[in-house]
Structure 1
């Protein structure tokens, strides 16, 4: 690396975690040799590169900060500043910035295989995306058949149309997760390795093990809505994590709705029994809420309280067959759900309408018929052009 442009390019790759092991060694060697010379990148250069770092969760950021502190203390014991340089403060800043860069880079290298940085998913795209444990992604078409492979090329499941069935014969030493992301306007099905069937609604993300392991709970992580037909296994409870709520079952049929716009996470039990409790707590059958068939449990996201009431379960599971139901729902939230269901964009210029609440149920209807209903019953004036709906 003889030119300034080469080290800048390599430093950028380092910050973005794109260096090979050999290139990482080059960066470290260059820093040790040239940390106080004029051709080292400026503080502004480094700050610009830092701005391109992927976002991390709080725990990762805390770990990195502690790592940097320990690295900085080690650096302080060996750096000697030239007294004759009048701009030595500049070089302190550069050295400190590079210590931060190296600290982040090394931490990222050490943890990238264990922790995948989640990329923001565009639910309004038309692609069903399957993400592997190492971050690699596969685009799925609900009209095709294909083999599902892991990062090493091993077959772990088979796709047939809108369903993936995972192999039950695999024998992994540790849990390996896949994450599937369902865009607006589509639905999908999964058969997990234990035989559990999962129906995934539009705008849903589910993280789940490729193969469950004996002796450990069968746990999956849900953002969105899914209907679970859980295979019975008394020795291995099945747990759905929906952010701050855990839903624990042994074998049953139930629906979980956990969309971000909703004030509550709803669990509707069709058959069997489920326990509801906060995700930071241990399950206690005597203290936690136990649902009976025909009941809905609602976890209030604001105060973490759980309430239950008897419901007609078909209303909450009709989406599997194309149905659509709104119960005491603001029109603002209805818009979000219509956008998700039909993959359209709705612009509402009637501000008074946003917070009004409605009750409505539809079978497998088109967006035109749904909007026509609101116009006929509630006098909502609208126009539809392509995938754009304007409410006046």
Structure 2
């Protein structure tokens, strides 16, 4: 099932719910993330016809090792015992290990200050105390509005191993992959381009607005759209930037 969802994602045909399922699968383990990155790179490098691309994708799927039925049955048989031991071991490790954990908190930069988005549900306020957005689990939703004043930019920093979703003030949804930095306006202007900046990877569902085109700035390259779904991969270590 997950391979079919990834195929739709790479083709730009995945629904919002399917994108969320893919991101949950990526977050489940380092092996999943490594596998996803490898498949994306292979897909981006396959500049052939759709028929050949499908054949190449099936070949990649066949290379992914599948668990043997016998091992699966054994795992099911002892699942309860394993879960119990793992839970106890995890509890002991948390209470005895003194090594500081690496920083894995999602940070929102506003007006020169930083806000850690580490609580499940919270109000996001500016320096005046005005509520500008709501955080709900792994998502931040901005109030729907436009402004005629000067544009104020916010920046989201997504650490490795994390993913995040942001709904912008115009209703555009952006799914941010791990290791990504995303800069965007708190509110878009009434009569100007909707300009955002990306370093890393994100899937966009752009709210249609013909009068105000949506522009993603990637390493000084501008991707201009009116309203569509697309994925951008622009990690600094990549020699090329892909937009699907």
Counterpart check, 1:239 vs 2:215: yes
Identify which of 117, 126, 134 aligns with 2:104: 126
Secondary structure at 1:185 match in 2 = coil
Mind listing any 5+ residue stretches in structure 2 that lack a counterpart? 1-101
- Cα displacement string for residues 39-76 of structure 1 (whole angstroms, at most 9, x for unaligned residues): xxxxxxxxxxxxxxxxxxxxxxxxxxxxxxxxxxxxxx
| Mapping of residues 1-20 of structure 1, within 5 Å | none
1:170 CA drift (Å): 5.6
The total of aligned residue pairs comes to: 143
Preserved CA contact (<8 Å) 1:156 1:170: no
* Aligned match of 1:20: none
RMSD of equivalent CA atoms: 1.2
Using the size of structure 1 for normalisation, the TM-score is 0.36
* Aligned match of 1:140: 117
* Aligned match of 1:185: 161
Counterpart check, 1:212 vs 2:184: no
Using the size of structure 2 for normalisation, the TM-score is 0.57
- Cα displacement string for residues 107-144 of structure 1 (whole angstroms, at most 9, x for unaligned residues): xxxxxxxxxxxxxxxxx621100000x21000012x51
List, as ranges, runs of 4+ consecutive aligned residues in structure 1 with deviation greater than 4 Å. none
Mind listing any 5+ residue stretches in structure 1 that lack a counterpart? 1-123, 269-392
1:172 CA drift (Å): 5.3
Preserved CA contact (<8 Å) 2:146 2:188: no
* Aligned match of 1:338: none
* Aligned match of 2:90: none
Kindly tell me: are residues 259 and 126 of structure 1, through their superposed partners in 2, closer, same or farther at Cα, counting changes over 3 Å?
same
Distance across 1 between alignment mates of 2:155 and 2:224: 20
Counterpart check, 1:156 vs 2:135: no
Preserved CA contact (<8 Å) 2:207 2:227: yes
1:169 CA drift (Å): 3.4
1:152 CA drift (Å): 1.7
Kindly tell me: are residues 129 and 162 of structure 1, through their superposed partners in 2, closer, same or farther at Cα, counting changes over 3 Å?
same
Identify which of 156, 164, 167 aligns with 2:143: 167
Preserved CA contact (<8 Å) 1:172 1:211: no
* Aligned match of 1:262: 238
- Cα displacement string for residues 232-265 of structure 1 (whole angstroms, at most 9, x for unaligned residues): 0000000000012110000000000110111101
Give the structure with higher Rg (CA). 1
* Aligned match of 1:368: none
